[in-house]
Structure 1
């Protein structure tokens, strides 16, 4: 069963941007695409555990700020060295003006 958690206001995230969200000792990254859709992944790079919310968003890609490894924030797929382990992704829904992420399975 999915547990939905209120992560942030929808307007807190600009298009093609990312924000950090911490919950229950875990860090998540929440993205808003150029098409005005929302996505969520683990918030730390799989290479050296750097916060992805400090990275650069381009199209559907997040680039880690430390070594420039890249991931698809839509699928979690590792797209560029030095990262080789995919990010975990989470379901997202918007309720009113709030972004909710599903953190349980």
Structure 2
């Protein structure tokens, strides 16, 4: 588990409906941070159906989801749960914080 927060971007670089990516400084896990109507959520940047970056997909701000471009699996950005086939497993949700005008996230899995 990483106790080290990873800098993602400035708050000005992450507008509503947008996402930014980073790699956890300790675990190396890909992290995608999504701005959903001003609330920030961080997920592992990996589709649970097929090992592919969720950040290559698009955010649906109405549904609050991110769609994997590979096979169309969608995940709720608020909690990582799979919303449709072909994905059935959730993606990991990570903590995110705003500090000093920056957006930070970390892989907090055991």
Find out whether 1:51 has 2:63 as its counterpart: no
Q: Is the 8 A contact 2:15 2:35 kept in 1?
A: yes
Residue 26 of structure 1 deviates from its aligned partner by: 1.6
- TM-score, normalising length: structure 2: 0.85
Unaligned runs of 5+ in 2: none
Aligned counterparts of 1:104 and 1:62: Cα–Cα separation in 2: 21
Point out 4+ residue stretches in structure 1 off by more than 4 angstroms: none
**Structure with the higher strand share, 1 or 2:** 1
TM-score (norm 1): 0.89
User: Deviation per CA, 1:41-60, whole angstroms, max 9, x where unpaired?
Assistant: 00011111111111110121
Q: Does 1:33 find its partner at 2:36?
A: yes
**Counterpart of 1:86?**
90
Which ranges of structure 1 fall in alignment gaps of 5 or more residues?
Answer: none
